[in-house]
Amino acid sequence: MTLKEIANELALAVRTASDKLDVGVTGGYASDLLSRVMAKAQKGNIWVTLQSHPNIVAVAVLLDLAGIVVTEGREPEPDTVKRANEEGVPILTTPHSTFTIVGKLAQLGVPGVD
């Protein structure tokens, strides 16, 4: 399943790198602790988080993540948007909570990383 399909299914708003949505998503991980994400998330994963500061882009780049979903109506900071566009990291936003989004991703068949 591609990031674009997920964005459509979950009605996620694409905030950055809208030209990078045709990538296949290999799985998902959810956490607001960056070190946990660094330790667990795998290449091509979609990462669901509340964090919206610029460092989430660095984490996504280092791990080759497919994209980041920022939940609960938080908007990525201007620096985050700038950096994400430069690095080609898609950031998607939603008013829903992390729990709800992860539930929907699971329904779509996106496997979790354990």
Residues that bind another protein (CB under 8 A): 2, 22-24, 32-36, 38-39, 43-44, 49, 51, 53-55, 57-59, 61-64, 79, 87
**What letter does residue 94 receive in the DSSP assignment?**
-
Q: And the tokens for 112?
A: 């979790």
Q: Which is nearer to another protein, 3 or 105 (CB)?
A: 3
CB of 92 to another protein, least distance (A): 18
Q: Which is nearer to another protein, 38 or 106 (CB)?
A: 38
CB of 10 to another protein, least distance (A): 20
List, as own/partner pairs, every contact residues 32-39 make where C-beta atoms lie below 8 angstroms and the sequence separation is at least 24, other chains included: 34/59, 37/63, 38/62, 38/63
Q: Which is nearer to another protein, 36 or 103 (CB)?
A: 36
CA-nearest of 14, 12, 7, 17 to 82 is 17
